[in-house]
Amino acid sequence: MNISKKALQTYRKYLASKLAIAFSFTVFVLACLAIGIIGSYLFLILVPVVVLPIFICLQLANSSFARGMPLTQKNFFSFYRTAFTPPLNGAYQVLSSFLKAVLINLGLSFVVVFAMLQLFVIDNSSFAQEVDSIAALAANGNFTEALAAYEANANIIFISSTATLISGGFALLAFLHFVGRNSIVPHLALSMSSMPGRIAFSIHREGLKFFKREFNTDYYRATWMGAPIILAGFAAGVFATYFFTQDPYLILLSGLAGAFILLAPFLPYYLDVIEELFKKYKERYISVSIDQAKKAYEEIKVAQKLSEEQQEELDKLIGDLQKKSDDAKREDDDLDNDENNE
């Protein structure tokens, strides 16, 4: 049975509970977006304090239903504190993902605006004069008049909205893609004696060097439908406000809201896919961690003489990792046997 079928089977089995926590997460995101109307800085502050921790509650609760956890608010929010523990610190790489998404947004915005301006100038000679007049007003310090002329120009508003739709939509898709792929790291960190999240991410990144092609095939084959869902939701949110405001920031917030609303039913399935991917590649991740530990061990021995106590600790660490590798292999064999029996 492939990854998507296994994930879909789990998704259907606990459908009501999974949808309930997914929509709870979405409500929190929408509330944060609503607060973000006051100022973009507020939404940025709420992401690490509310959005990410609640997403972690969603992921851990989503995995716990199969282990018999009942659906209650107390059980869902019991994972909130876990979001601030070492195993999840740096696991999702949210900041680096955000910075990469910002660069994508800026690059696409420039390309789209430049291309559309060229098309409008070619098609309408008076448009170039209109743009020059607005630029001249701004250059002379008449910002109020320049803004009024900008807002009154339907062509410029159309170009700005189109750039927001295209660049913002793909930047959001990129950000969720980066964070989503990293959501396998918490499974790795929590399965290995509460390993720090940054170390677990390092193992994940190192592991992909050996099985990236197979991993990507499994991942994209099972999650490809997420991209059109995000883009369609974002586009719907943008067009929902397009005729009511010309403020690009409000249009962007509306696009984000639309994307998360449409994405809500898909999220539990996506997280089930991530969990199935971890089960499949767990043994290989552990093998990579053993290799890294042994390599570090040898480097330390060469650099300086270890005390007997330090050597015992390193030997114990490598032994624990080896035991986990053996356990993971037995779990894989048991799963294969169960599938064959089915």
Domain extents in the chain:
3-92+183-279
| pLDDT, position 315 | 65
Q: Do 206 and 292 touch, CB atoms closer than 8 A?
A: yes
The count of residues in the chain is 342
State the DSSP code for 153.
Answer: -
State the DSSP code for 39.
Answer: -
Q: Kindly give the confidence (pLDDT) of every residue in the chain, 342 residues in length, as a single tens digit, with 9 standing for 90 and above.
A: 589 999 999 999 999 999 999 999 999 999 999 999 888 788 888 998 999 999 999 999 999 988 888 888 888 898 898 888 888 888 899 999 999 999 999 999 999 888 888 888 777 777 777 777 888 877 887 778 877 887 777 777 788 778 878 898 899 999 999 999 999 999 988 887 667 888 888 889 888 888 999 999 999 999 999 999 999 999 899 888 877 877 778 888 999 999 999 999 999 999 999 999 999 998 888 888 777 766 765 665 555 555 666 566 666 666 666 666 666 556 655 555 555 555
Which residues, 6+ apart, have CB-to-CB distance to 300 below 8 Å? 306, 314
Taking the C-alpha atoms of residue 306 and residue 304, their distance in angstroms, rounded to an integer, is 6
Kindly report the number of other CB atoms within 10 A of residue 215's CB atom.
19
Taking the C-alpha atoms of residue 28 and residue 22, their distance in angstroms, rounded to an integer, is 10
H/E segment holding residue 304:
none
Q: Do 247 and 301 touch, CB atoms closer than 8 A?
A: no
Q: Which stretches of 190-276 are assigned E, i.e. beta strand?
A: none
Six-digit token string for 101: 């998404």
